[in-house]
């Protein structure tokens, strides 16, 4: 398959400067469009938008205030670029579809590549999906219905169905002539962007692939079987998109053929779609670590509140458990009030240390760097890190507590509890995400609450238990 050049440093000064210029440019565009809309200058709005890339128009739509967004859509809906829909935030896309109207959306979807069209359809409500399907041409309807039969977040949903596939007895010249004829034929679909030509058998099974660059460098009379690559990374249509992204990253792929259960070629996945998947999965993990199920910048307040309430409820339960542990040592705290002052320090250090470990482990699981074969080596390393950091900060915090309350024993108890909690954070932060994966639970979302509960409860129990035993003789 085609290969790409090695990744370059994504944070070079030139790129940072270009990124800043892009944001500054978009801020200027948003201000100009808002002013033109306020002045009801529709023609001026069109002039501003006309030179913009469709992804910039999508960015503009997302940034505008709701009332300005409605006015803008009313102006551009007749000339609406279909690619804008694919670039919109998922939360906002459904709203935009309703405002554009069924006729305009159907026309836009019919012009999109199949993979982009499917991504629009799968986010719609069932009733809207049925109405839109009925409004598009029969050929497009059949393609989208077929795509929606595949599992969500699978290669079958992600793949592009427009392909260039030729029989093994063709030559380079015949293949090039075929592509030119197809491009001029309004009844045949040639992909807007593609990287490989696939050679398929009479049964529709892929025999090999030719990178487009190699085809164009070869003589017309050359048989395609002599220049094709037979070592292909075949992707099952039911493969999860995370696995697809991993294969592309691992093998440096630019495109890859997708096959059904019978091994027949049904589509191809290109790197532009995989980049979207990688961003989507990274965003999902990042939001999950914060206890947020999805991006909700454009969601209504009630919906956002409901989404966030789930993990807030888990946090409340965690605090109740921690409070129950503390209540068992009520007499100890009454005799030494300094314990109440220092307790949060133990829990906070353990919680933060554990969060660091969980973040690294979740990333390792996502990139396939972590597996059952090396988890114990990583756990041993994190325990060692916990010992080193625990000892260092225990010495610092214990010394501070000893001078603050003029009690060396109190400082020693604080230090001992802190070492224990940070070592436990290293072990739990490694094993909890692995255990969640085993039970098919997303560790990015669930690992944090589980970890916080253990570090808080065990931290309080250890600190107050040591204090009861060694300071009060309990």
Is 367 strand, coil or helix? coil
Q: Are 442 and 288 in contact (CB under 8 A)?
A: yes
Is 82 strand, coil or helix? coil
Higher pLDDT, residue 128 or 360: 360
Q: Which residue has the tokens 């469009």?
A: 33
pLDDT of residue 292: 63
CATH topology of domain 301-471: Tetracycline Repressor; domain 2 (1.10.357)
Q: Are 437 and 376 in contact (CB under 8 A)?
A: no
The three state secondary structure string of 196-255 is: EEEEECCCCCEEEEEEHHHHHHCCCCCEHHHHCECCCCCEECCCEHHHHHHHHHHHCECE
**What angle, rounded to 10 degrees, do the helices at 13-38 and 66-76 form?**
80
H/E segment holding residue 338: helix 338-366
Stretch(es) of the chain classified as CATH 3.10.580.10: 165-288
pLDDT of residue 207: 96
Q: What is the pLDDT of residues 424-462, one digit of tens each?
A: 999 999 999 999 988 888 887 788 888 988 999 999 999
Least confident of 32-36, 181-185, 271-275: 181-185
Overall average pLDDT of the 128-135 stretch: 85
State the pTM of this model. Answer: 0.70
Is 265 strand, coil or helix? strand
Domain 165-288 CATH class label: alpha beta
Interior angle at CA 287, CA 282 and CA 288, nearest 5:
95
Q: Are 240 and 257 in contact (CB under 8 A)?
A: no
Instruction: Name the token pair of 361.
Output: 């482990």
pLDDT of residue 359: 87
Instruction: Name the token pair of 319.
Output: 């605090």
- Beta strand pairing call for 196-200 and 165-166: parallel
Q: What is the pLDDT of residues 293-352, one digit of tens each?
A: 555 666 677 877 777 787 788 888 888 999 999 999 999 999 999 999 999 999 999 999
- Beta strand pairing call for 235-236 and 255-259: parallel
Q: What is the pLDDT of residues 213-222, one digit of tens each?
A: 999 999 999 9
Sheet harboring 255-259: ordered strands across? 235-236, 255-259, 265-270
* Interatomic CA distance for residues 238 and 251, integer angstroms: 20
User: Percent of the chain having pLDDT more than 70?
Assistant: 91
C-alpha torsion angle, residues 338, 342, 344, 346 (rounded to 10): -140
pLDDT of 154 > 90? The answer is yes
The chain-wide mean pLDDT, for the chain, equals 86
pLDDT of residue 288: 66
Nearest to 196 by CA among 215, 180, 182: 215
Q: What is the pLDDT of residues 263-276, one digit of tens each?
A: 999 999 999 889 88
Stretch(es) of the chain classified as CATH 1.25.60.10: 13-158
Least confident of 117-121, 418-422, 468-472: 117-121
Instruction: Name the token pair of 109.
Output: 């979807």
pLDDT of 174 > 50? The answer is yes
Domain 13-158 CATH class label: mainly alpha
Instruction: Name the token pair of 40.
Output: 């009801």
pLDDT of residue 123: 74
The three state secondary structure string of 151-174 is: CCCEHHHHCECCCCEECCCCEHHH
Q: What is the pLDDT of residues 84-97, one digit of tens each?
A: 888 888 778 878 88
Q: Are 399 and 411 in contact (CB under 8 A)?
A: yes
* Interatomic CA distance for residues 417 and 394, integer angstroms: 8
pLDDT of 15 > 80? The answer is no
pLDDT of 124 > 70? The answer is yes
H/E segment holding residue 73: helix 66-76
Instruction: Name the token pair of 228.
Output: 């094709």
pLDDT of 408 > 80? The answer is yes
User: How confident is residue 188, by pLDDT bands cut at 50, 70 and 90?
Assistant: low
Higher pLDDT, residue 187 or 229: 229
Least confident of 1-15, 57-71, 166-180, 361-375: 1-15
Dihedral of alpha carbons 321, 324, 328, 333, sign: positive
């Amino acid at each position: 398959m085609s290969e790409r050049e090695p990744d370059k440093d994504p944070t070079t000064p030139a790129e940072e400067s270009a990124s800043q210029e892009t944001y500054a440019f978009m801020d200027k565009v948003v201000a100009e469009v808002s002013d033109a809309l306020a002045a009801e200058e529709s023609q001026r709005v069109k002039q501003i938008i006309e030179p913009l890339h469709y992804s910039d128009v999508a960015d503009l739509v997302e940034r505008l205030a709701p009332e300005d967004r409605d006015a803008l859509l009313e102006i551009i809906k007749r000339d609406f670029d279909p690619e804008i829909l694919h670039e919109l935030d998922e939360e906002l896309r459904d709203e935009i579809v309703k405002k554009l109207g069924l006729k305009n959306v159907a026309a836009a979807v019919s012009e999109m590549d199949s993979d982009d069209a499917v991504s629009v359809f799968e986010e719609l409500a069932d009733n809207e999906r049925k109405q839109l399907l009925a409004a598009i041409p029969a050929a497009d309807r059949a393609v989208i219905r077929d795509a929606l039969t595949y599992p969500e977040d699978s290669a079958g949903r992600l793949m592009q169905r427009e392909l260039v596939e030729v029989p093994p007895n063709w030559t380079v010249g015949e293949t090039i002539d075929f592509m030119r004829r197809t491009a001029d034929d309004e009844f045949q679909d040639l992909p807007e962007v593609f990287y490989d030509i696939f050679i398929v058998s009479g049964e529709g099974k892929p025999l090999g692939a030719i990178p487009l660059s190699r085809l164009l460098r070869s003589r017309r009379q050359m048989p395609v079987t002599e220049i094709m690559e037979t070592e292909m990374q075949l992707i099952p249509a039911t493969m999860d998109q995370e696995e697809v992204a991993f294969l592309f990253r691992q093998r440096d792929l630019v495109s890859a053929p997708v096959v059904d259960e019978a091994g027949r070629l049904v589509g191809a996945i290109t790197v532009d779609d995989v980049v979207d998947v990688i961003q989507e999965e990274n965003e999902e993990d990042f939001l999950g670590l914060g206890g947020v199920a999805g991006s909700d910048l454009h969601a209504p307040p009630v919906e956002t509140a409901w989404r966030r309430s789930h993990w807030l409820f888990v946090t409340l339960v965690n605090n109740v458990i921690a409070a129950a542990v503390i209540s068992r040592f009520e007499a100890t705290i009454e005799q030494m009030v300094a314990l109440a002052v220092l307790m949060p320090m133990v829990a906070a250090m353990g919680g933060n240390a554990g969060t660091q470990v969980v973040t690294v482990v979740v990333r390792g699981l996502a990139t396939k760097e972590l597996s059952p074969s090396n988890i114990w080596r990583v756990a041993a390393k994190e325990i060692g890190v916990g010992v080193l950091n625990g000892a260092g900060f225990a010495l610092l915090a214990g010394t501070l507590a000893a001078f603050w309350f003029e009690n060396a024993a109190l400082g020693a108890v604080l230090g001992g509890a802190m070492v224990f909690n940070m070592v436990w954070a290293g072990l739990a932060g490694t094993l909890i995400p692995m255990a969640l994966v085993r039970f098919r639970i997303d560790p990015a979302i669930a690992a944090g609450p589980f970890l916080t509960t253990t570090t808080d409860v065990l931290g309080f129990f250890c600190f107050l238990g040591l204090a009861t035993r060694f300071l009060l003789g309990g």
